[in-house]
């Protein structure tokens, strides 16, 4: 699943806080933003989010209504899984207590312990 | 010319034999902060001495650099009648060009990796900003697996899971202290720098081995900071609890070796240097890391003197 732009994040916030599926107009009204947003902007953002797989849409009368595909917690769990899967990539994050050591790192540690033990 | 030869020799010595003598610092008997400082300052030294050698080689003779230690008029700096040969110029300037080129290449790789990391960081933090419960300093993910990690850069960010809050408070505090130690020590930057050197110059033994050593040492150093702040016991029990709980997800569980090693380091009794306050680690490690330069300069001076005596022009 793709990442989020700033406005996309705000729209997801709105959808996660809502109890029911929302129309574009509802999302627009719920968004608190420094400058007023155009209806078409929100429509485009929701369309992008749909394309990225973050929101689901269904027809309600003449308009679409939008819901988040997964809950905030589920999305968080997925982000965490991505980080854990990439944890060999140490230049990104330093991941405490769950990271598997690379073969080179294990070799360094084993050698150090062997030498320490033999003294 | 003697300075140039000395720095060139230092660069070669550190590049080839750096890992051999630095490996001795990776032991539970040496404080990991000290070992980390030694590896990092050696990394820096390699770049500085390489660049220094390039500059000294590129400078025309008689600029007086050798006068720093009374060698301005040694035979290799005096143009003797008929003694100035073209190949010596070519070798000197060619060497300078090669070293400048390598330094620039390291710089390019560094910029490339740093930009790539910044892009990833921005996207990742934006994602977290949306899905996390944010309290001032720490961002919380709703996940039962106890995990904490940190994203470097300015500002750095610590991310932890709800699973972590279910650990005893002292263990939780120790784990978070470990993450803050990463941020305070700019550990992400150090790992990235080592990575850049390895990607740029994989044929240099020191560059090839530095990333793994530095990755290990930043973890051990952060453990040591957490243990100084909260005692070794909570760091140890937190480590055990989390590595045991992480076990079913085999790909993610910390390797047995890594857990054993970190526990050994936590009980490590550091004699000698370990009795000095930790704040001296950086200064002392930097001074000791410069020893190869002194050795190489000394060797270069001896060789030049011997050569001058041999040709009878000293």
B19-43: pLDDT as tens digits: 988 988 888 888 899 999 999 999 9
Quick check: B144 and B161 in contact, CB under 8 A?
yes
Percent of all residues in chain B with a pLDDT value above 70, rounded to a whole number: 84
Q: Best of A70, A96, A117, A119 to disrupt the B interface by mutation (most B CBs within 10 Å)?
A: A96
Q: Which pLDDT band, with edges at 50, 70 and 90, does B112 fall under? A: very high
Quick check: B143 and B159 in contact, CB under 8 A?
no
- Minimum mean pLDDT range among B138-142, B243-247, B293-297: B243-247
ipTM of the complex: 0.76
Contacts of A87 in chain B (CB under 8 A): 252
Domain locations in chain A as residue ranges:
6-68
Q: Which of B143, B150, B260 sits opposite A94 (nearest CB)?
A: B150
A97 to chain B, any CB pair closer than 8 A? The answer is yes
Percent of all residues in chain B with a pLDDT value above 90, rounded to a whole number: 31
Which range of A59-73, B60-74, B256-270 scores highest in mean pLDDT? It is A59-73
A5 to chain B, any CB pair closer than 8 A? The answer is yes
Specify the number of domains making up chain B: 1
Which range of A2-11, A87-96, B102-111, B130-139 scores highest in mean pLDDT? It is B102-111
CATH assignment, A6-68: 1.10.10.10
- How many CB atoms are closer than 10 A to CB B252? 18
**pLDDT tens-digit profile of B175-194?**
899 989 999 999 989 999 99
A9/B216 Cβ within 8 A = no
Which range marks the domain in which residue B168 is found? 2-311
- pLDDT at residue B252 tops 60: no
B225 to chain A, any CB pair closer than 8 A? The answer is no
CB-based contacts of A105, cutoff 8 Å, min separation 6: B212, B215, B216, B258
> How many whole angstroms separate alpha carbon A72 and alpha carbon B284?
49
- pLDDT at residue B296 tops 80: yes
Region B98-103: what's the mean pLDDT? 94
A84/B147 Cβ within 8 A = yes
What integer pLDDT is reported at residue B249 of this predicted model? 42
Q: Give the residue ranges of DSSP H helices in chain B.
A: 2-22, 32-58, 86-131, 162-165, 169-184, 187-200, 205-230, 232-246, 256-267, 281-289, 291-311
Contacts of B218 in chain A (CB under 8 A): 94
B148 to chain A, any CB pair closer than 8 A? The answer is yes
Quick check: B41 and B195 in contact, CB under 8 A?
no
- pLDDT at residue B251 tops 50: no
What integer pLDDT is reported at residue B248 of this predicted model? 40
Count of CB pairs separated by less than 8 Å, A with B: 164
Higher pLDDT, B250 or A116: A116
What integer pLDDT is reported at residue B38 of this predicted model? 93
A20 to chain B, any CB pair closer than 8 A? The answer is no
């Amino acid at each position: 699943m793709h990442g989020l732009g700033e406005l996309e994040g705000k729209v997801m916030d709105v959808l996660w806080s809502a109890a029911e599926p929302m129309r574009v107009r509802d999302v627009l009204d719920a968004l608190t933003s420094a400058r007023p947003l155009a209806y078409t902007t929100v429509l485009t953002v929701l369309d992008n989010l749909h394309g990225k797989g973050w929101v689901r849409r269904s027809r309600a009368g003449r308009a679409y209504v939008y819901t988040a595909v997964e809950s905030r917690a589920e999305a968080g769990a997925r982000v965490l899984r991505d980080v854990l899967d990439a944890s060999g990539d140490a230049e990104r994050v330093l991941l405490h207590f769950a990271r598997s050591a690379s073969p080179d790192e294990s070799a360094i540690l084993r050698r150090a312990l062997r030498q320490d033990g033999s003294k | 010319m003697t300075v140039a030869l000395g720095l060139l020799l230092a660069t070669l010595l550190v590049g080839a034999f750096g890992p051999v003598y630095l490996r001795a610092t990776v032991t539970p008997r040496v404080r990991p902060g000290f070992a980390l400082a030694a590896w990092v300052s050696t990394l820096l030294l390699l770049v500085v001495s390489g660049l220094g050698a390039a500059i000294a080689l590129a400078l025309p003779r008689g600029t007086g650099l050798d006068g720093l230690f009374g060698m301005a008029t040694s035979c290799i700096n005096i143009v003797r009648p008929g003694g100035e040969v073209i190949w010596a110029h070519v070798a000197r300037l060619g060497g300078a060009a090669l070293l400048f080129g390598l330094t620039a290449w390291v710089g390019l790789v560094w910029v490339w990796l740093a930009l790539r990391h910044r892009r990833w960081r921005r996207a990742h933090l934006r994602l977290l900003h949306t899905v996390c419960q944010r309290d001032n300093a720490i961002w919380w993910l709703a996940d039962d697996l106890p995990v904490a990690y940190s994203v470097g850069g300015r500002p750095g960010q610590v991310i932890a899971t709800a699973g972590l809050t279910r650990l005893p408070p002292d263990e939780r505090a120790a784990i978070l202290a470990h993450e803050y130690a990463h941020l305070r020590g700019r550990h992400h930057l150090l790992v990235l720098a080592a990575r850049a050197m390895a990607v740029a110059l994989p044929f240099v033994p020191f560059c090839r081995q530095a990333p793994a050593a530095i990755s290990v040492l930043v973890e051990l150093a952060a453990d040591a900071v957490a243990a100084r702040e909260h005692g070794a016991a909570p760091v140890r029990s937190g480590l055990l609890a989390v590595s045991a709980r992480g076990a079913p997800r085999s790909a993610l569980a910390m390797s047995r070796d890594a857990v054993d090693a970190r526990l050994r380091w936590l009980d490590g009794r550091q004699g000698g240097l370990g009795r000095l306050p930790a704040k001296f680690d950086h200064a002392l490690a930097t001074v000791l890391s410069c020893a190869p330069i002194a050795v190489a300069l000394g060797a270069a001076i001896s060789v030049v003197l011997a050569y001058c005596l041999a040709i009878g022009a000293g």
